[in-house]
Amino acid sequence: METLVGTELCFPQLINTSCRKLIRPHLEAMLIYMLLSFISLLTVALNLLVIIAISHFKQLHTPTNLLLLSLAVSDFFVGLLMIFQIMILDGCWLLGDLMCSLWLILLSIITSSSVGTMVLISVDRYVAICYPLHYFTKVKPKRVQVCVCLCWMFAALFYSLLLKNNLQQPGRYNSCIGECVYYMNYIANLFDLIVSFLFPITVIVILHMRIFGVAVYQARAMRSHIAVVTMKVTVKKSEMKAARNLGVVVVVFLICVFPYYCFAFTSQNNLYTVASVTTLIWLFHFNSCLNPLIYTILYPWFRKSIKVIVTLQILKPGSCQTNML
């Protein structure tokens, strides 16, 4: 609960133009800073382990894992940028207007690339489950790499254009010194919601509904036709398990990002201070910490790779050929 127990300015020397600092009880402030700092460090550390594992071990260089690598890279940078979010918890931005604009644009690019990667993951599972005979001919590592690069390039171009006014005239929309504000006009805000939220979420939901339908159909077919080729059943089970695991990742992602985009969609104001949406932003970013925790629970190869990395066995010659599956 945020309480003002006194009045302090972000810049005491600027009495008439400085923003007011949000003052919390000391114990509450310490607990909040310690908790959020821990989440930030955990996000960076866990996603770094995912990046090292998938990059180093050749057995993990599959199309699906390349998408998880892209997601881990974006989550890793989100963890690093959380530090700036912690700095503004008291409502004061002390790094200047240009840094504020750069931070917001970079954060938008990274989060948008995460959404795009989620769409690619859904497409990957859709093809694997609904068109298994064509999966290995259609979905190849090189093609996945191209799609990931295009996803990141689109996010960079899209938000560079959408937020260029914030970068050309930093601090233009600030009501006081020490405020970090981002602004998009109504048309740009609507376009952002459609491109970054409504369209990708619709695609993700439709594809996973299709995957669920195929899973139900297959379960019924297997119950009524017991005499199925063993190899075919094994392959199908592994693909269905991968779809289930990645489905968990997608559902958790939707839960974390939905409140933020709902607020943006229903808000009548196109001008936001970072401090005013801190809780929603932290919930959005907390997903970056949850993803590697989900991998730890659901993926044996990730638990095994953590053990190899932490015990420094990764430094041994030929460790990249270690069996992780």
The pLDDT assigned to 82 comes to 87
In a domain, 38, yes or no: yes
**Phi, psi angle pair for 179, to nearest 5°:** -100, 145
Residue (of 308, 273, 66) closest to 183 by Cα position:
273
The pLDDT assigned to 237 comes to 62
Residue (of 42, 26, 47, 36) closest to 84 by Cα position:
36
In a domain, 131, yes or no: yes
Quick one: 269 exposed, middle or buried, by C-beta within 10 A (0-12, 13-18, 19+)?
Answer: exposed
In a domain, 16, yes or no: no
Find out whether 45 and 25 touch, Cβ atoms under 8 Å: no
In a domain, 11, yes or no: no
Residue (of 37, 30, 5, 32) closest to 20 by Cα position:
5
Per-residue DSSP letter, 175:
S
The pLDDT assigned to 265 comes to 67
Find out whether 287 and 253 touch, Cβ atoms under 8 Å: yes
Quick one: 253 exposed, middle or buried, by C-beta within 10 A (0-12, 13-18, 19+)?
Answer: buried
The pLDDT assigned to 243 comes to 67
Residue (of 214, 243, 289, 224) closest to 45 by Cα position:
289
In a domain, 195, yes or no: yes
Find out whether 75 and 291 touch, Cβ atoms under 8 Å: yes
Q: Which residues pair with 272 in a beta bridge?
A: 182
Rounded distance between C-alpha atoms, residue 49 and residue 52, angstroms: 5
Find out whether 97 and 174 touch, Cβ atoms under 8 Å: yes
Segments in the chain below pLDDT 50: 1-6, 226-235
In a domain, 13, yes or no: no
Which domain, by its residues, includes 237?
26-321
Query: pLDDT digit string (tens) for 238-286?
Result: 666 666 777 788 788 888 887 877 776 666 555 555 555 677 778 888 8
In a domain, 43, yes or no: yes
The pLDDT assigned to 198 comes to 84
The residue assigned the tokens 């254009």 is 161
> What's the length of the chain?
325
In a domain, 6, yes or no: no
The pLDDT assigned to 233 comes to 42
* Percent of the chain residues topping a pLDDT of 70: 85
State the amino acid at position 80 in one-letter form. L
Domain count, the chain: 1
The pLDDT assigned to 234 comes to 38
Rounded distance between C-alpha atoms, residue 92 and residue 127, angstroms: 48
Find out whether 32 and 89 touch, Cβ atoms under 8 Å: yes
CATH number at residue 270: 1.20.1070.10
Q: How many CB atoms lie within 10 A of CB 69?
A: 22
